Structure 1
Amino acid sequence: METALMDIEYNYLEIRRRVEQVIQREADGSYFAVYNNLVFRSVFQPIFDSNKEILGVESLIRIRTTSGEAVSPQVFFKEVEENNTHWVFYTLLCSVLHVLNFSISAFCKHKLFINVAPPIFELISNDDAAIAHIMARLEQYQIRPDQITYELMESRGRSPELVLKGMKKMSSHGIHIAMDDYGVEHSTIERAELIRPHYLKLDKSLLVGSEKAVIEEVNSAVALARKVGAKTIAEGIETNAVLQICQDAGIEYFQGYYLAMPEKAPPVNERVELTQRKERG
């Protein structure tokens, strides 16, 4: 499946060069990528504050085969995690696509949240040229570093020490860090205390169950976020009742189908029209 990647040197700039070779433009100006018989496209889901103003958007990937069959991103990335080069390549491919599409979208003055696999941070931890390249590209696309938040995915990675070093380097250049999917796999209390992220994103699994259980989980997460100096974002908001619980507990930001579905971003000069999913009765 991945023979074309086997000769890539495990180097950020080389992998980035390969990524940029597979990115194309649609007739409407948006960006997509075709690689290994798969087509990758960006969608964006808004993140709101308590006044329902948009803080920013999380970038998500949609994958189809070249014949049009949908591919689960979760399943796909679980498979590529087994090889560091593949994991970095596809994570970087998605990241570059998202930044390009964000830069020409109606969301371009807001914040952009990007899922980043631990090996990306490991790779740049001792590579000042890679960080300089990232900063130069952001400037080229007229995006400030503080508009970007890298979401550390819940996977462990190979070297927690290098992950932490890479994150600290990015933070020193103004990029923010979020801990994604708190409560799942390696997104634990210990990790939050170690990396002290700008944002703690609660996994949607914490919002499922009895009202008492949800309240306990949310209150615990808010207490942890305050301890490490992080803002909180509740993912997976699908009902008004859960939204109210999160607001009452002091969660600052909210994301989920009840508020807005993930969609292709409108062009920069168009008004943002949000699609919500109604509560299931």
Structure 2
Amino acid sequence: MICDNCSTFEPIEDQGIVHMKPASGELIQLLEVNGYAIQENNEGCAVKYRVRAELKSMIKCLKPLPLKIRQELFFCVTGGEPPHERLTWTPMRRFELQMEHDDMVSVILHKQFTSYMQPIVDPSERIVAYEFLLRPVDWGIAFQPYELFETARKTGLHSFLDRSARISAIETSAEWLPMGMKRFVNFLPSSIYDAEMCLSHTFNTIDKLQLDPKDFVFEVVETEKIEDIKHLQSIFEVYRSHGISVAMDDVGAGYSTLEQMVRLKPDYVKIDRSLIDHCDRSHAQQKQLEIITNMAHDFGAMVLAEGIERREEFHFCRDIGIELSQGYLFGKPAERPPLEPHSRITYS
């Protein structure tokens, strides 16, 4: 079995041929009624389109099809010439969503995004690492990262996007960061079917660019509850077998529970910003921060406080033993490192 992450997706051309299977009588009749010239074949049927708007109109005209036919109908779009390779088929509902979110799908398939870097500092405020965050390219379509990943999930492209984002981060780190500087890169566990197979692109890119795997920290970012802890543990094991560290993000909020943290035992624990915000003024937050920090230290993890915007927050986190800090106080995400390697943050 090949997972989506290892599949190849091609952008839909402005003109070409849409293939459909199976070619039921209702499908043929509906296409004919709407004036489309149909080419029947062994697998189903095909219709040429001259502009993208015509393709969208064709999909809309098929909405009256009975539910059972819609559930069994698959689509594939090729260029103007007959395909020479095996077709990759998409269920009708997913194909409709790809057409509905055409702009965002184009961003994903054309990889119209880049990686910004946000500094991470140690207790002396030296920059010791950067987190890589997905952002639009200057000349491309504007988007919010969450919006892009949500569109990718709906349209079956989340594995493709997750892999492309990891590769973008690795390539950007090779361009801007020196050896020895840690690089935090996000990944979605749900995008990985078989860790060794699906992550081979990641490991090959690190190797091709002659980077040190020990400089990388891959962190779990998951908006949905992690149902299969054993699967995530196996992903962690594969990363570690290649010399790469792993991290849990947003610990202390949402689905990143302390129980999961203890079971997974990541190398880095990133505490959610909701616990950091004004933590110097909240006894309840302080107690929770101390619990998480002590538990993480018990199994040998380093702790990182996210979302620090005030020096008082930084001082409290540093004083209870949190080793790393990240937030607007030290720098916003940027296209390139704002300071020389291992520089200290200075304030005007």
Superposition TM-score, scaled by structure 2 size? 0.63
1:182 partner letter: V
Greater C-alpha radius of gyration: 2
Q: What is the SS of the residue equivalent to 1:71?
A: coil
1:197 Cα offset (Å): 0.1
Q: How does 1:1-281 map to 2 (within 5 A)?
A: 10-15=3-8, 34-35=107-108, 39-63=112-136, 68=141, 70-82=142-154, 85-107=156-178, 109-120=180-191, 122-125=192-195, 128-155=196-223, 156-157=225-226, 159-209=228-278, 210-266=281-337, 271=340
1:55 Cα offset (Å): 1.9
1:260 Cα offset (Å): 1.3
1:137 Cα offset (Å): 2.1
The whole-number CA distance in structure 2 between the counterparts of 1:193 and 1:104 is 35
The whole-number CA distance in structure 2 between the counterparts of 1:214 and 1:107 is 36
1:113 partner letter: F
CA contact (8 A) 1:41 1:62 kept: yes
The count of corresponding residues between Structure 1 and Structure 2 is: 250
CA contact (8 A) 1:181 1:202 kept: yes
Q: What is the SS of the residue equivalent to 1:136?
A: helix
1:130 Cα offset (Å): 4.4
The one-character-per-residue Cα deviations of 1:125-161 (angstroms, maximum 9, x if unpaired) are 3xx4445553332121121111111101143346332
The whole-number CA distance in structure 2 between the counterparts of 1:194 and 1:163 is 10
The whole-number CA distance in structure 1 between the counterparts of 2:329 and 2:236 is 32
1:81 Cα offset (Å): 3.5
2:208 partner letter: Q
1:46 Cα offset (Å): 1.0
The whole-number CA distance in structure 1 between the counterparts of 2:243 and 2:266 is 13
1:183 Cα offset (Å): 1.6
CA contact (8 A) 2:113 2:134 kept: yes
The whole-number CA distance in structure 1 between the counterparts of 2:308 and 2:120 is 11
1:234 partner letter: A
Q: What is the SS of the residue equivalent to 1:250?
A: coil
The whole-number CA distance in structure 2 between the counterparts of 1:233 and 1:10 is 33
The answer to which of 192-201 and 108-117 deviates more is 108-117
The whole-number CA distance in structure 1 between the counterparts of 2:205 and 2:322 is 33
Residue 6 of structure 1 is matched in structure 2 by none
Superposition TM-score, scaled by structure 1 size? 0.77
Q: Go from structure 1 to structure 2 and tell me whether the alpha carbon gap of 1:79 and 1:119 turns closer, same or farther (over 3 Å shift).
A: same
1:54 Cα offset (Å): 1.9
Q: Which runs of 5+ in 1 are unaligned?
A: 1-8, 20-32
What value does the CA root-mean-square deviation take over the aligned residues?
3.2
Q: What is the SS of the residue equivalent to 1:177?
A: strand
The share of aligned pairs that are identical, in percent, is 25
The one-character-per-residue Cα deviations of 1:228-262 (angstroms, maximum 9, x if unpaired) are 32100000010000001101111000100001111
The one-character-per-residue Cα deviations of 1:54-94 (angstroms, maximum 9, x if unpaired) are 221100011369664x32112332443446x4221111111
